[in-house]
Amino acid sequence: MDQHITNSSKFPKVVIVGGGFGGIELAKRLKNKEVEILMLDRHNYHTFQPLLYQVATGGLEADSIAFPLRKIFKNQKNFTFRVTEVDSIDPSAKIVNTSIGKITYDYLVLATGSDTNFFGQKEVEHFSMAMKTIPEALNLRSMILQNLEEALIEGDPVRKASLLNFVVVGGGPTGVELSGALAELKKHILPEDYPELSVKDVNVYLIEGSDELLGAMSDEASAKSKQFLQEMGVKVLTNIRVLGYDGDVIKLSNEQAIPTKNVLWSAGVKGAIPGGFPPETIARGNRIVVDEFNRVAAQPRIFAIGDVAAQITPDTPNGLPGVAPVAIQQGKHLAKNILRFMNNEQPEPFKYSNQGSMATVGRNKAVVDIGKIRFQGIFAWFVWMFVHLMSLVGFRNKVVTFVNWVWSYFSYDRGTRLIIRRFNRESMTEDPSAK
Protein backbone atom coordinates (compact mmCIF):
# COMPACT_ATOMS: atom_id res chain seq x y z
CA MET A 1 0.00 0.00 0.00
CA ASP A 2 1.10 3.52 -0.70
CA GLN A 3 3.89 2.00 -2.72
CA HIS A 4 3.93 4.84 -5.23
CA ILE A 5 4.85 7.65 -2.93
CA THR A 6 8.14 7.58 -1.11
CA ASN A 7 7.53 9.37 2.13
CA SER A 8 10.51 8.99 4.37
CA SER A 9 9.56 12.11 6.30
CA LYS A 10 8.70 11.88 9.96
CA PHE A 11 6.21 14.72 9.56
CA PRO A 12 2.45 14.22 9.18
CA LYS A 13 1.32 13.71 5.60
CA VAL A 14 -1.26 16.18 4.24
CA VAL A 15 -2.89 14.98 1.03
CA ILE A 16 -4.51 17.77 -0.99
CA VAL A 17 -6.88 16.67 -3.73
CA GLY A 18 -7.11 19.37 -6.41
CA GLY A 19 -4.72 22.01 -7.74
CA GLY A 20 -7.24 24.83 -8.04
CA PHE A 21 -7.15 28.17 -6.26
CA GLY A 22 -7.76 26.67 -2.80
CA GLY A 23 -5.39 23.71 -3.05
CA ILE A 24 -2.52 25.84 -4.36
CA GLU A 25 -2.92 28.47 -1.66
CA LEU A 26 -2.99 25.85 1.07
CA ALA A 27 0.11 24.05 -0.21
CA LYS A 28 2.03 27.32 -0.56
CA ARG A 29 1.18 28.35 2.98
CA LEU A 30 2.51 25.05 4.30
CA LYS A 31 5.95 25.65 2.76
CA ASN A 32 8.76 25.09 5.26
CA LYS A 33 6.29 23.80 7.85
CA GLU A 34 6.65 20.45 9.57
CA VAL A 35 4.32 18.62 7.19
CA GLU A 36 4.76 16.48 4.11
CA ILE A 37 2.40 17.60 1.31
CA LEU A 38 1.14 15.40 -1.48
CA MET A 39 -1.06 17.09 -4.08
CA LEU A 40 -3.20 15.02 -6.45
CA ASP A 41 -4.86 16.37 -9.59
CA ARG A 42 -6.10 14.79 -12.79
CA HIS A 43 -4.26 17.51 -14.74
CA ASN A 44 -0.62 18.45 -14.43
CA TYR A 45 -1.64 22.10 -14.55
CA HIS A 46 -3.70 24.68 -12.72
CA THR A 47 -6.61 26.10 -14.74
CA PHE A 48 -7.52 29.78 -14.41
CA GLN A 49 -11.23 29.14 -14.86
CA PRO A 50 -12.41 32.79 -15.00
CA LEU A 51 -10.87 33.13 -18.47
CA LEU A 52 -12.04 29.83 -19.98
CA TYR A 53 -14.69 31.73 -21.95
CA GLN A 54 -11.93 33.62 -23.78
CA VAL A 55 -10.32 30.32 -24.83
CA ALA A 56 -13.70 29.04 -26.03
CA THR A 57 -14.20 32.14 -28.18
CA GLY A 58 -10.71 32.37 -29.67
CA GLY A 59 -9.49 35.30 -27.58
CA LEU A 60 -6.71 33.54 -25.70
CA GLU A 61 -4.61 30.44 -26.24
CA ALA A 62 -5.31 27.67 -23.75
CA ASP A 63 -1.72 27.65 -22.61
CA SER A 64 -2.03 31.23 -21.33
CA ILE A 65 -4.56 30.30 -18.67
CA ALA A 66 -2.93 27.04 -17.61
CA PHE A 67 0.14 26.75 -15.45
CA PRO A 68 2.15 23.57 -14.70
CA LEU A 69 1.54 22.62 -11.07
CA ARG A 70 5.04 21.21 -10.66
CA LYS A 71 6.46 24.57 -11.65
CA ILE A 72 4.52 26.46 -8.98
CA PHE A 73 6.12 24.32 -6.30
CA LYS A 74 9.52 23.68 -7.84
CA ASN A 75 11.40 25.09 -4.85
CA GLN A 76 9.17 23.65 -2.17
CA LYS A 77 10.95 20.68 -0.64
CA ASN A 78 8.00 19.33 1.37
CA PHE A 79 5.78 19.14 -1.76
CA THR A 80 5.15 16.10 -3.96
CA PHE A 81 2.73 15.93 -6.87
CA ARG A 82 0.99 13.13 -8.74
CA VAL A 83 -1.28 13.20 -11.80
CA THR A 84 -4.16 10.89 -10.91
CA GLU A 85 -7.90 10.55 -10.68
CA VAL A 86 -9.26 10.12 -7.16
CA ASP A 87 -12.01 7.50 -7.09
CA SER A 88 -13.01 7.38 -3.45
CA ILE A 89 -11.80 7.84 0.08
CA ASP A 90 -11.80 5.39 2.95
CA PRO A 91 -11.80 7.44 6.17
CA SER A 92 -11.63 4.44 8.49
CA ALA A 93 -8.34 3.30 6.93
CA LYS A 94 -7.18 6.87 6.15
CA ILE A 95 -6.73 5.92 2.49
CA VAL A 96 -7.46 7.61 -0.84
CA ASN A 97 -8.19 5.20 -3.69
CA THR A 98 -6.77 6.57 -6.94
CA SER A 99 -6.01 5.49 -10.48
CA ILE A 100 -2.37 4.98 -9.44
CA GLY A 101 -3.16 2.98 -6.32
CA LYS A 102 -4.00 3.48 -2.67
CA ILE A 103 -2.51 6.51 -0.97
CA THR A 104 -2.43 6.99 2.80
CA TYR A 105 -2.89 10.30 4.57
CA ASP A 106 -2.70 11.79 8.02
CA TYR A 107 -4.77 14.80 6.99
CA LEU A 108 -6.88 14.97 3.84
CA VAL A 109 -8.07 18.17 2.19
CA LEU A 110 -10.62 18.04 -0.61
CA ALA A 111 -10.19 21.00 -2.92
CA THR A 112 -11.79 19.35 -5.92
CA GLY A 113 -13.94 22.29 -7.05
CA SER A 114 -17.16 21.86 -8.99
CA ASP A 115 -18.54 20.23 -12.12
CA THR A 116 -21.30 21.42 -14.39
CA ASN A 117 -24.78 20.74 -13.03
CA PHE A 118 -27.43 19.73 -15.56
CA PHE A 119 -29.97 19.13 -12.78
CA GLY A 120 -30.68 15.60 -13.97
CA GLN A 121 -31.62 16.54 -17.56
CA LYS A 122 -29.73 13.71 -19.28
CA GLU A 123 -30.61 14.59 -22.85
CA VAL A 124 -29.65 18.23 -22.33
CA GLU A 125 -26.40 17.07 -20.75
CA HIS A 126 -25.53 14.91 -23.74
CA PHE A 127 -26.21 17.51 -26.41
CA SER A 128 -25.04 20.72 -24.80
CA MET A 129 -21.53 21.94 -24.13
CA ALA A 130 -20.15 22.68 -20.70
CA MET A 131 -17.09 24.78 -20.00
CA LYS A 132 -15.35 23.92 -16.74
CA THR A 133 -12.04 22.61 -18.08
CA ILE A 134 -9.57 23.53 -20.81
CA PRO A 135 -10.40 20.51 -22.99
CA GLU A 136 -14.06 21.51 -22.75
CA ALA A 137 -13.29 25.10 -23.72
CA LEU A 138 -11.25 23.85 -26.69
CA ASN A 139 -14.06 21.52 -27.75
CA LEU A 140 -16.40 24.50 -27.63
CA ARG A 141 -14.04 26.59 -29.75
CA SER A 142 -13.83 23.83 -32.36
CA MET A 143 -17.60 23.34 -32.35
CA ILE A 144 -18.38 27.04 -32.83
CA LEU A 145 -15.91 27.40 -35.69
CA GLN A 146 -16.93 24.14 -37.38
CA ASN A 147 -20.59 25.13 -37.24
CA LEU A 148 -19.75 28.40 -39.00
CA GLU A 149 -17.83 26.46 -41.65
CA GLU A 150 -20.73 24.06 -42.05
CA ALA A 151 -23.26 26.87 -42.33
CA LEU A 152 -21.42 28.03 -45.45
CA ILE A 153 -22.23 24.85 -47.32
CA GLU A 154 -25.63 24.09 -45.80
CA GLY A 155 -28.46 24.40 -48.30
CA ASP A 156 -31.39 23.67 -45.99
CA PRO A 157 -32.52 26.93 -44.32
CA VAL A 158 -33.63 25.37 -41.02
CA ARG A 159 -30.41 23.43 -40.63
CA LYS A 160 -28.44 26.52 -41.54
CA ALA A 161 -30.31 28.56 -38.91
CA SER A 162 -29.59 25.90 -36.30
CA LEU A 163 -25.87 26.19 -37.06
CA LEU A 164 -26.00 29.97 -36.65
CA ASN A 165 -28.13 30.20 -33.50
CA PHE A 166 -26.07 30.28 -30.32
CA VAL A 167 -27.95 29.67 -27.08
CA VAL A 168 -26.20 30.29 -23.78
CA VAL A 169 -28.09 28.93 -20.78
CA GLY A 170 -27.53 30.54 -17.39
CA GLY A 171 -27.13 34.24 -16.63
CA GLY A 172 -24.35 34.08 -14.08
CA PRO A 173 -20.91 35.56 -14.78
CA THR A 174 -19.94 32.74 -17.17
CA GLY A 175 -23.14 33.03 -19.22
CA VAL A 176 -22.89 36.82 -19.39
CA GLU A 177 -19.22 36.72 -20.40
CA LEU A 178 -19.74 33.96 -22.95
CA SER A 179 -22.75 35.54 -24.64
CA GLY A 180 -20.95 38.89 -24.73
CA ALA A 181 -17.90 37.30 -26.33
CA LEU A 182 -20.09 35.56 -28.93
CA ALA A 183 -21.75 38.89 -29.75
CA GLU A 184 -18.32 40.41 -30.34
CA LEU A 185 -17.27 37.46 -32.48
CA LYS A 186 -20.40 38.06 -34.55
CA LYS A 187 -19.78 41.78 -34.89
CA HIS A 188 -16.05 41.98 -35.50
CA ILE A 189 -14.87 38.61 -36.84
CA LEU A 190 -17.77 37.17 -38.78
CA PRO A 191 -17.98 39.86 -41.49
CA GLU A 192 -14.24 39.53 -42.18
CA ASP A 193 -13.84 35.76 -41.95
CA TYR A 194 -17.18 34.73 -43.41
CA PRO A 195 -18.25 37.37 -45.92
CA GLU A 196 -20.52 34.72 -47.45
CA LEU A 197 -22.62 34.63 -44.27
CA SER A 198 -25.02 37.36 -43.30
CA VAL A 199 -24.47 38.79 -39.83
CA LYS A 200 -28.21 39.15 -39.33
CA ASP A 201 -28.62 35.37 -39.66
CA VAL A 202 -26.45 34.86 -36.58
CA ASN A 203 -28.30 35.06 -33.26
CA VAL A 204 -26.99 34.93 -29.73
CA TYR A 205 -29.49 34.09 -26.97
CA LEU A 206 -28.95 34.20 -23.22
CA ILE A 207 -31.52 32.26 -21.21
CA GLU A 208 -31.87 32.87 -17.48
CA GLY A 209 -34.36 31.16 -15.16
CA SER A 210 -34.65 33.94 -12.61
CA ASP A 211 -35.75 37.50 -13.27
CA GLU A 212 -32.28 39.00 -13.52
CA LEU A 213 -28.74 38.35 -14.73
CA LEU A 214 -25.82 38.16 -12.26
CA GLY A 215 -28.18 37.37 -9.40
CA ALA A 216 -25.35 37.33 -6.88
CA MET A 217 -24.37 40.91 -7.69
CA SER A 218 -26.04 44.27 -7.06
CA ASP A 219 -29.23 45.37 -8.82
CA GLU A 220 -27.21 47.97 -10.71
CA ALA A 221 -24.84 45.29 -11.99
CA SER A 222 -27.75 43.06 -12.99
CA ALA A 223 -29.58 45.80 -14.83
CA LYS A 224 -26.51 47.22 -16.53
CA SER A 225 -25.18 43.87 -17.71
CA LYS A 226 -28.55 43.17 -19.32
CA GLN A 227 -28.52 46.58 -20.99
CA PHE A 228 -24.95 46.09 -22.25
CA LEU A 229 -25.79 42.70 -23.71
CA GLN A 230 -28.91 44.00 -25.41
CA GLU A 231 -26.97 46.89 -26.91
CA MET A 232 -24.54 44.30 -28.29
CA GLY A 233 -27.42 42.44 -29.91
CA VAL A 234 -27.80 39.54 -27.49
CA LYS A 235 -31.40 38.38 -27.05
CA VAL A 236 -31.67 38.16 -23.26
CA LEU A 237 -34.57 36.02 -22.05
CA THR A 238 -35.18 36.13 -18.28
CA ASN A 239 -37.70 34.12 -16.25
CA ILE A 240 -37.36 31.36 -18.83
CA ARG A 241 -36.40 27.77 -18.17
CA VAL A 242 -35.09 25.15 -20.59
CA LEU A 243 -37.58 22.31 -20.98
CA GLY A 244 -35.48 20.15 -23.24
CA TYR A 245 -32.84 19.96 -25.95
CA ASP A 246 -32.54 17.08 -28.40
CA GLY A 247 -29.50 18.29 -30.32
CA ASP A 248 -31.62 20.10 -32.91
CA VAL A 249 -34.16 22.28 -31.12
CA ILE A 250 -34.10 23.80 -27.63
CA LYS A 251 -37.53 24.11 -26.03
CA LEU A 252 -38.16 26.91 -23.59
CA SER A 253 -40.80 27.43 -20.89
CA ASN A 254 -42.34 30.33 -22.86
CA GLU A 255 -43.21 27.82 -25.61
CA GLN A 256 -40.45 29.18 -27.82
CA ALA A 257 -38.46 26.55 -29.74
CA ILE A 258 -35.12 27.61 -31.20
CA PRO A 259 -33.38 25.43 -33.79
CA THR A 260 -29.74 25.31 -32.70
CA LYS A 261 -26.64 23.16 -32.82
CA ASN A 262 -24.93 25.41 -30.27
CA VAL A 263 -26.18 25.11 -26.70
CA LEU A 264 -23.66 26.35 -24.15
CA TRP A 265 -24.63 25.33 -20.63
CA SER A 266 -23.54 27.52 -17.74
CA ALA A 267 -26.67 27.26 -15.62
CA GLY A 268 -25.25 25.62 -12.54
CA VAL A 269 -22.49 23.77 -10.76
CA LYS A 270 -22.28 20.93 -8.30
CA GLY A 271 -19.49 19.87 -6.00
CA ALA A 272 -17.05 17.30 -7.42
CA ILE A 273 -17.03 14.79 -4.56
CA PRO A 274 -15.12 11.49 -4.65
CA GLY A 275 -16.93 8.37 -3.46
CA GLY A 276 -16.96 7.35 0.18
CA PHE A 277 -18.77 10.26 1.78
CA PRO A 278 -21.86 9.42 3.83
CA PRO A 279 -24.98 11.03 2.30
CA GLU A 280 -25.63 13.03 5.47
CA THR A 281 -22.42 15.02 4.91
CA ILE A 282 -23.59 16.20 1.48
CA ALA A 283 -25.62 19.40 1.15
CA ARG A 284 -27.56 21.04 -1.67
CA GLY A 285 -25.53 21.40 -4.87
CA ASN A 286 -23.59 18.24 -3.97
CA ARG A 287 -21.28 20.12 -1.62
CA ILE A 288 -19.66 18.63 1.47
CA VAL A 289 -20.87 20.17 4.70
CA VAL A 290 -17.99 21.58 6.74
CA ASP A 291 -17.85 23.48 10.02
CA GLU A 292 -16.27 26.86 10.63
CA PHE A 293 -12.83 25.19 10.55
CA ASN A 294 -13.57 23.61 7.14
CA ARG A 295 -13.69 20.24 8.88
CA VAL A 296 -16.01 17.55 7.55
CA ALA A 297 -18.59 16.47 10.12
CA ALA A 298 -17.40 13.61 12.32
CA GLN A 299 -14.12 13.39 10.37
CA PRO A 300 -11.48 15.18 12.42
CA ARG A 301 -8.78 14.59 9.79
CA ILE A 302 -10.74 15.45 6.64
CA PHE A 303 -11.28 19.00 5.40
CA ALA A 304 -12.90 20.58 2.36
CA ILE A 305 -12.31 24.04 0.91
CA GLY A 306 -13.54 26.05 -2.05
CA ASP A 307 -16.42 25.15 -4.36
CA VAL A 308 -16.75 21.60 -3.05
CA ALA A 309 -17.34 22.78 0.53
CA ALA A 310 -20.60 24.05 1.99
CA GLN A 311 -19.62 25.97 5.09
CA ILE A 312 -22.91 25.95 6.95
CA THR A 313 -22.74 28.27 9.93
CA PRO A 314 -25.32 30.53 11.62
CA ASP A 315 -23.91 33.42 9.54
CA THR A 316 -23.86 31.43 6.28
CA PRO A 317 -26.86 29.09 6.28
CA ASN A 318 -26.48 28.45 2.54
CA GLY A 319 -22.71 28.21 2.50
CA LEU A 320 -20.43 30.69 0.75
CA PRO A 321 -20.42 31.55 -2.96
CA GLY A 322 -18.39 29.26 -5.25
CA VAL A 323 -15.82 31.85 -6.24
CA ALA A 324 -12.04 31.97 -6.26
CA PRO A 325 -11.61 34.39 -3.31
CA VAL A 326 -13.49 32.04 -0.96
CA ALA A 327 -11.26 29.13 -1.98
CA ILE A 328 -8.08 31.18 -1.65
CA GLN A 329 -9.02 32.57 1.75
CA GLN A 330 -10.06 29.14 3.01
CA GLY A 331 -6.80 27.62 1.77
CA LYS A 332 -4.79 30.30 3.52
CA HIS A 333 -6.79 29.96 6.72
CA LEU A 334 -6.77 26.16 6.76
CA ALA A 335 -2.96 26.11 6.53
CA LYS A 336 -2.82 27.75 9.95
CA ASN A 337 -5.61 25.63 11.39
CA ILE A 338 -4.09 22.34 10.23
CA LEU A 339 -0.89 23.23 12.08
CA ARG A 340 -2.98 24.14 15.14
CA PHE A 341 -4.81 20.80 14.97
CA MET A 342 -1.47 18.99 14.75
CA ASN A 343 -0.20 20.81 17.81
CA ASN A 344 -3.46 20.33 19.71
CA GLU A 345 -4.01 24.07 19.75
CA GLN A 346 -7.37 25.78 19.47
CA PRO A 347 -8.29 26.36 15.77
CA GLU A 348 -9.77 29.68 14.64
CA PRO A 349 -13.08 29.91 12.77
CA PHE A 350 -12.97 31.01 9.12
CA LYS A 351 -14.42 34.43 8.26
CA TYR A 352 -14.95 35.31 4.61
CA SER A 353 -13.84 38.78 3.65
CA ASN A 354 -15.91 39.74 0.62
CA GLN A 355 -13.74 42.00 -1.50
CA GLY A 356 -16.36 42.48 -4.15
CA SER A 357 -17.32 40.84 -7.40
CA MET A 358 -17.20 41.70 -11.07
CA ALA A 359 -18.10 40.44 -14.51
CA THR A 360 -17.20 41.58 -18.00
CA VAL A 361 -19.68 41.84 -20.84
CA GLY A 362 -17.48 43.01 -23.67
CA ARG A 363 -15.14 45.68 -24.89
CA ASN A 364 -15.30 48.68 -22.51
CA LYS A 365 -18.23 47.04 -20.73
CA ALA A 366 -17.97 45.47 -17.29
CA VAL A 367 -19.78 45.67 -13.96
CA VAL A 368 -18.06 45.90 -10.58
CA ASP A 369 -19.45 45.77 -7.03
CA ILE A 370 -17.07 46.56 -4.18
CA GLY A 371 -19.19 46.77 -1.05
CA LYS A 372 -21.39 49.83 -1.45
CA ILE A 373 -19.31 51.08 -4.36
CA ARG A 374 -20.76 50.04 -7.69
CA PHE A 375 -19.67 51.10 -11.13
CA GLN A 376 -20.10 49.90 -14.69
CA GLY A 377 -18.63 50.63 -18.10
CA ILE A 378 -15.13 51.35 -19.33
CA PHE A 379 -13.45 51.96 -15.98
CA ALA A 380 -15.01 48.79 -14.59
CA TRP A 381 -13.68 46.99 -17.65
CA PHE A 382 -10.13 48.15 -17.01
CA VAL A 383 -10.45 47.16 -13.34
CA TRP A 384 -11.70 43.74 -14.44
CA MET A 385 -8.76 43.28 -16.83
CA PHE A 386 -6.22 44.44 -14.25
CA VAL A 387 -7.54 42.13 -11.53
CA HIS A 388 -7.66 39.13 -13.85
CA LEU A 389 -4.23 39.77 -15.30
CA MET A 390 -2.73 40.05 -11.84
CA SER A 391 -4.50 36.88 -10.68
CA LEU A 392 -3.10 34.76 -13.52
CA VAL A 393 -0.40 32.40 -12.30
CA GLY A 394 2.99 32.96 -13.85
CA PHE A 395 4.80 35.91 -15.36
CA ARG A 396 4.85 34.41 -18.86
CA ASN A 397 1.09 33.91 -18.80
CA LYS A 398 0.56 37.50 -17.66
CA VAL A 399 2.70 38.87 -20.47
CA VAL A 400 1.19 36.68 -23.19
CA THR A 401 -2.35 37.49 -22.04
CA PHE A 402 -1.52 41.20 -21.85
CA VAL A 403 -0.12 41.10 -25.40
CA ASN A 404 -3.26 39.35 -26.62
CA TRP A 405 -5.56 41.84 -24.92
CA VAL A 406 -3.70 44.91 -26.14
CA TRP A 407 -3.62 43.39 -29.62
CA SER A 408 -7.36 42.64 -29.55
CA TYR A 409 -8.16 46.07 -28.21
CA PHE A 410 -6.58 47.90 -31.10
CA SER A 411 -7.30 45.39 -33.86
CA TYR A 412 -10.79 44.21 -32.75
CA ASP A 413 -9.35 40.79 -33.48
CA ARG A 414 -9.51 37.44 -31.71
CA GLY A 415 -6.34 35.73 -32.78
CA THR A 416 -6.77 32.06 -32.06
CA ARG A 417 -9.81 30.96 -33.99
CA LEU A 418 -8.28 27.60 -34.78
CA ILE A 419 -9.88 24.18 -35.12
CA ILE A 420 -6.90 22.27 -33.72
CA ARG A 421 -8.87 19.12 -32.98
CA ARG A 422 -12.07 18.57 -34.90
CA PHE A 423 -15.20 18.33 -32.80
CA ASN A 424 -17.32 15.25 -33.42
CA ARG A 425 -21.04 15.84 -33.06
CA GLU A 426 -21.84 12.16 -32.51
CA SER A 427 -19.62 11.75 -29.48
CA MET A 428 -19.89 15.43 -28.46
CA THR A 429 -16.16 15.50 -27.96
CA GLU A 430 -13.14 15.94 -30.17
CA ASP A 431 -12.21 13.46 -32.85
CA PRO A 432 -8.96 11.68 -31.95
CA SER A 433 -8.52 10.32 -35.48
CA ALA A 434 -8.28 13.81 -36.95
CA LYS A 435 -4.73 14.79 -37.76
| Burial of 86 from C-beta contacts in 10 A (0-12 / 13-18 / 19+) | buried
* Nearest alpha carbon to residue 109 among 25, 9, 4: 25
* Residue 43 near a second copy by CB under 8 A: yes
Q: In angstroms, what is the minimal distance from the CB of 366 to a second copy?
A: 23
- DSSP conformation letters of 47-60: E-GGGHHHHHTTSS
Q: Does 413 bind a second copy (CB under 8 A)?
A: yes
Window contacting a second copy (CB under 8 A); options: 8-16, 22-30, 55-63, 162-170: 55-63
Residue 177 falls in the annotated catalytic set? yes
One of 25, 177, 184, 292 is an active-site residue; which one?
Answer: 177
From the list 102, 111, 82, the residue with the least C-alpha distance to 18 is 111
- Hey, how many other C-beta atoms are within 10 angstroms of the C-beta on 369? 22
Distance separating alpha carbons of residues 429 and 423, to the nearest angstrom: 6
Task: Return d(Cα 40, Cα 95) in angstroms, integer.
Answer: 13
Q: Does 200 bind a second copy (CB under 8 A)?
A: no
Confirm or reject binding of residue 432 to a second copy (CB under 8 A): yes
1, 3, 122, 371: which one binds a second copy (CB under 8 A): 3
Q: Among residue numbers 83 through 112, which ones bind a second copy (CB under 8 A)?
A: 83, 100-101
C-alpha distances out from residue 115 to 170, 272, 281, 322, 338, Å: 15, 6, 18, 11, 27
Minimal distance in Å, beta carbon 93 to a second copy? 20
Q: Does 152 bind a second copy (CB under 8 A)?
A: yes
C-beta of residue 332 within 8 angstroms of C-beta of residue 21: no
Number of residues that bind a second copy (CB under 8 A): 62
The interface with a second copy within residues 57-86 (CB under 8 A) comprises 61-64, 66, 68, 70-71, 74, 80, 82-83
Q: Which residues are catalytic?
A: 177
Q: Where do contacts with a second copy occur on this chain (CB under 8 A)?
A: 3-4, 6, 42-45, 61-64, 66, 68, 70-71, 74, 80, 82-83, 100-101, 133-136, 138, 145-146, 149, 152-153, 155, 192-194, 196, 394-397, 399-400, 403-404, 407, 413, 415-421, 424, 427, 429-435
